[in-house]
Structure 1
Amino acid sequence: MGTAERRRAPEDGGAAESAARSVAEAPERDIPAAGPDTPARKRPERSEGREARETPGAREQSPYRPLWTEEPARRRRLPDPVRTAAVRAVLVVAVTLIMAMVAFLCTMAGSWLAFPMVIGSVAGTVVATWGVLDVWVTRQVWNQRHGVVSMPSSTARAMRRERRRARRQARSAERVQERIRRRGGAGQLSHP
């Protein structure tokens, strides 16, 4: 509804205001809003999303629906080294494909640039293969080091064991220091 419909002549009176208000309060287009000549209907409650958590007063304060709703990610984010290798591989593959296409077009046109582009696209294919293998190797190494792969040969278990041992030693040293502080502090050889 545009501004012109909202600002009707005074003879329309409250009917135009209530119609504008009811349209503004209907958050979804497929649910008819209760107007002056239609009976008020109860909206169905949703069990998911924002509407289920809102209070009834909050819906009247915000007549606009959000543009999107945030959903939890289906998969975890890639680790930084793996993501870096993947971005590098995608860029190399993209440049190689562009070079191959330019080589093909130059060959069709009979240009002198065809031979250097063919040589470049062959070299790019070798580099792109290396880039894809780099992503795979980086992912496997990251999994092996950070404990995603649960195998006896995984170095992650030894690393976790060392971290637990270091935490236990730090806690015991902290307890000893706390015991010394409670007994009376530094410089006191015996109790009075």
Structure 2
Amino acid sequence: MGTAERRMAPGDGVTAPAAETGRESGSDQGIPAGAALRRSDPGRGQDALDGGEGQPYYRPLWIEEPARKRRLPDPVRTAAVRAVLITAVTLVQAMVAFLCTMAGSWLAFPMVLSSVASTVVATWGVLDVWVTRQVWNQRNGVVSTPSSTARALRRERRRARRRARAATRSQERIRRRQGGAGQLSHS
């Protein structure tokens, strides 16, 4: 039984289980019923290609499935691709250096030096992926969820500040009312 048959319910129109399609066991597995009938009995005509409802049965090439993990952010993915390419080149250089050393070639020493330099660059590339990921998470990705005690403390501080501002405003209003009536000049 293929992946499509396991994931879809019988009779949903996308795929049909083996019992509904009339598949024969053995060589016809994985072939839709119409194709199996057409191959085995070419004289049956258009009915052999139909799923029984008058429409031809087409098996999809693939079935879209939701992604299990979120896609990496673009800068992180770019850094990861760069690191993989640099690491691959480093491994090829190391292999060439080893083979040149075994063969006693003059190219062995320059290849060993370039392999050491490439190893440093590959290490930088891997660290670049890590740093880029951390920076991206810090700028865009991480949603802070503080503990309930911290949230309660912040809420209490906010209430206290609001009360203090309201008291200050009411005092200002009282001063304006009293000060404006008894004041004759602005000097």
Superposition TM-score, scaled by structure 1 size? 0.51
Indicate the residue corresponding to 1:31 in structure 2. Answer: none
Of 101, 104, 113, the residue aligned with 2:107 is 113
Of 77, 81, 84, the residue aligned with 1:87 is 81
1:8-49: CA deviation from partner (whole Å, max 9, x where unpaired): 4xxxxxxx23xx634x345xxxxxxx8xxxxxxxxxxxxxxx
The alpha-carbon deviation at position 93 of structure 1 amounts to 0.2
Q: Which runs of 5+ in 2 are unaligned?
A: 1-35, 147-187
Mapped pair 1:138 → 2:132 = yes
Identity %, equivalent residues = 72
Of 47, 53, 58, the residue aligned with 1:21 is 47
Q: How many matched pairs?
A: 110
1:148-182: CA deviation from partner (whole Å, max 9, x where unpaired): 25277xxxxxxxxxxxxxxxxxxxxxxxxxxxxxx
* Secondary structure class of the residue paired with 2:112: helix
Mapped pair 1:69 → 2:95 = no
- Trace 1:133-172 onto structure 2 (pairs within 5 A): 133-148=127-142, 150=144
Report runs of 4+ in structure 1 exceeding 3 Å deviation: 1-5
Taking a change above 3 Å as real, the CA distance of residues 4 and 149 of structure 1, as seen in their structure-2 partners, is closer
> Any conservation in 2 of the 1:100–1:117 contact (CA below 8 Å)?
yes
Indicate the residue corresponding to 1:183 in structure 2. Answer: none
Indicate the residue corresponding to 2:6 in structure 1. Answer: none
Q: Which has the larger radius of gyration?
A: 2
Superposition TM-score, scaled by structure 2 size? 0.52
Aligned-residue RMSD, C-alpha: 2.5
Mapped pair 1:104 → 2:130 = no
> Any conservation in 2 of the 1:143–1:149 contact (CA below 8 Å)?
no
The alpha-carbon deviation at position 108 of structure 1 amounts to 1.0
Indicate the residue corresponding to 2:3 in structure 1. Answer: none
